[in-house]
Amino acid sequence: MLGVQICMPKSMDQGYINNQKELYSFMFDGVLPHNCKQDEVFDRLAAELLLGTLEGVNATIFAYGQTGSGKTFTITGGPERYADRGLIPRSISFLFHSIAQRPTFLHKVGISYLEIYNEAGYDLLAPAEETRVVEDLPRVHIMEDEDGRLHMRNLSLHAVASEEEALNLLFLGETNRTISETPMNMASSRSHCIFTLHIESRQVGQEVIKRSKMHLVDLAGSERVSKTRILGTVLSEAKHINLSLHFLEQVIISLQERGSGQGRAHIPFRNSMLTTALRDSLGGNCRTVMVANVAATADQAEETISTCRFAQRVAMIGNSVTANEEMDPAVLVRMLQQEVKDLKQEIRLLKASQDGAGGALTAQHYTDLSTAMAAYLADPSLEASLDCGGDMRLIRSAMAMMKAMIQKPLPPENAAPAAHAVQPATWPVPEDIQQQLSSLQSQIEHRDSEIRVLMKMLHRPAGEAVHNSRSLSVVRGDMAASCVFMSGKQQSSTQEPWPDLEVIADRERALQYWEEHHFDGSALQENKQALRQHYREAKQLGDKLDSGKETITRLRTELQSKSSCAGDDDSTAASHKGLDELVELRENIQQESGSYREALDRLRMLKPAIEHLQLLIEKGQTSKIAKFDAWHALMQLGSRH
């Protein structure tokens, strides 16, 4: 537990003698300083929760605080620098990386993005052609079934198979998100947004499915209307925001009272759409983390105290967390059918061994067996099975075919194997070596296609960016918090010399002048430098993969050659020596395969990072030109007068 102290000197307006409290102390599970990096925020808040979602445990992280305190920067991140990525993009990357480390599990990931604006819900991931205002998006309604479960009507759920697909959906949602300008923050999010990761996992061969949700909630800023000095539409937005946050506080207080044993029966979840949507995340089957964002300035001390009090109430809530596990009827039926099929084959096999099957296998037997084996090898599913029938002769032929496929190219389709192909080898090669060869061959063939896709990206010109179907020129994020703690370069037209008319008339010279005096390109240069470093690393990994593939192929060929030679030598000493050489070659292949997999995994992780950086650079260039055009037009207008 860490403490925070806030000192508010007594106001002299109330006289020299008053009972106003001066020192406020609050205790929290953790305190993050103002200069804390985004990767540290993720490690301390989200990493453990995401690992729990893979085991079927729901989780929620929501940021609460006044406008400009850094909520959107914490949840979504900054719009310019790659290092400023927030909890959502880092959670996406971490989730898919964790899934890749679980090869014996089957996973499904879905994404939904809900915005609550003026007490109305909207789907931010709607596939609309053009969205000018938030009202153009589909309206989302919350419904409750007879079992008390909530359903979001018109809220789309998008299945994603990779980190790239998930990030593209995130960018789409951020484009559609409603923002507005207030005196406290020039890019204030005037709505509540709930980004949800739907995760489903099942171990191969098991019928138990684990389902979970990860909610990442960016609440709108809470502040007093009198301080913001807003009017019109923004004032109406602030009223709806404050009312929904007031209902949220009522729910928190009610849950706190019930947790302390005061017998509170009714929890007012239905008072607002926000509290209804978060019903399962507050006091339910969910691990909940609240991030209290505060501004460490004297004029915002009252709002900071209010936020800390709210956070302590949230900490008093007790959740009952259990893993969400259930039996999938479809999987169970499929497994039972396969079990019945296996039992029938076993019965046929036992009968064939007792009766003694006579006669030779026909060409049709070989054709059917070859077709079944090709389908088995082509099926990428971890639950694929090979049906050889209930005849031991077919099983032996299948094993011989598998060995022939490893040692030499595949025979033509629909061709019966040669007579010698079904005969066992004269010198027994260890079974684990044969299994290793089979695994490596299928692994290399499967990953060759992945490498080709990844290498295409490496040859893309550095200036070429990834384009989406929508324009991403809108800049978002509660960046005012960083302004409180970090001094930035202030632009003032009175401190800079007025450009000459000749400079204004020449666009290239005007652009150069504007870049020198009015444009801060540090974020753009930082992203370009990071992109160049990623390109260099990707190029090195590509070369390493090519070299590793050649080495593995050479070792595999040498292993096959020595295996054949060992079978022709009848001497015991030579056999032992040949076996030692085979074992050494196998160990070398395993070592090279490990390096190959590590390089390929790293290259996979670099791909979404490169695409993200390319998108940030494209957005930065677009924003730069737009700002220059506005400044240049103003200068031209001033020169005419």
Q: What is the DSSP letter of 139?
A: E
Q: Per-residue b/e over 359-381, b at no fewer than 16 CB within 10 Å?
A: eebeeebbeebbebbeeebeeee
Contact of 94 with 252, CB cutoff 8 Å: no
Q: Between β-strands 208-218 and 120-123, what pairing exists: parallel, antiparallel or unpaired?
A: unpaired
The whole-angstrom separation of Cα 271 and Cα 248 is 9
Q: What is the DSSP letter of 37?
A: -
What is the helix, strand, coil percentage profile of the chain, to 5? 55, 15, 30
Q: Between β-strands 185-189 and 139-144, what pairing exists: parallel, antiparallel or unpaired?
A: unpaired
607 appears as a binding residue in the annotation: no
71 appears as a binding residue in the annotation: yes
Q: Beta-carbon neighbour count of residue 21 at 10 Å?
A: 8
HSE, side-chain direction, 13 A CA sphere, residue 383 = 13
Q: What's the full length of the chain, in residues?
A: 641
Contact of 482 with 84, CB cutoff 8 Å: no
The whole-angstrom separation of Cα 231 and Cα 392 is 85
Write the CB contacts of 372 (distance below 8 Å, at least 6 apart in sequence). 386, 387, 388
Whole-Å CA distances, 531 to 345, 526, 528, 614: 57, 9, 5, 7
Q: Beta-carbon neighbour count of residue 74 at 10 Å?
A: 27
65 appears as a binding residue in the annotation: yes
- The residue written with tokens 């479809």 in the block is 330
- Alpha helices (H) in 459-488, listed in sequence order: 480-485
Contact of 179 with 474, CB cutoff 8 Å: yes
| Residue 85 DSSP SS3 | strand
Give the distance from CA 459 to its chain's centroid.
Answer: 25
590 appears as a binding residue in the annotation: no
344 appears as a binding residue in the annotation: no
For residue 95, which of 84, 108, 83 has the smallest C-alpha distance? 108
* Burial class of residue 326, CB neighbours in 10 A (0-12, 13-18, 19+): exposed
66 appears as a binding residue in the annotation: yes
Q: How many helices (H) and strands (E) does the chain have?
A: 18, 14
70 appears as a binding residue in the annotation: yes
HSE, side-chain direction, 13 A CA sphere, residue 426 = 9
For the record, the structure tokens of 321 come out as 């967390």
389 appears as a binding residue in the annotation: no
Which residues contribute to the annotated binding site for ATP?
A: 65-72
Which residues contribute to the annotated binding site?
A: 65-72
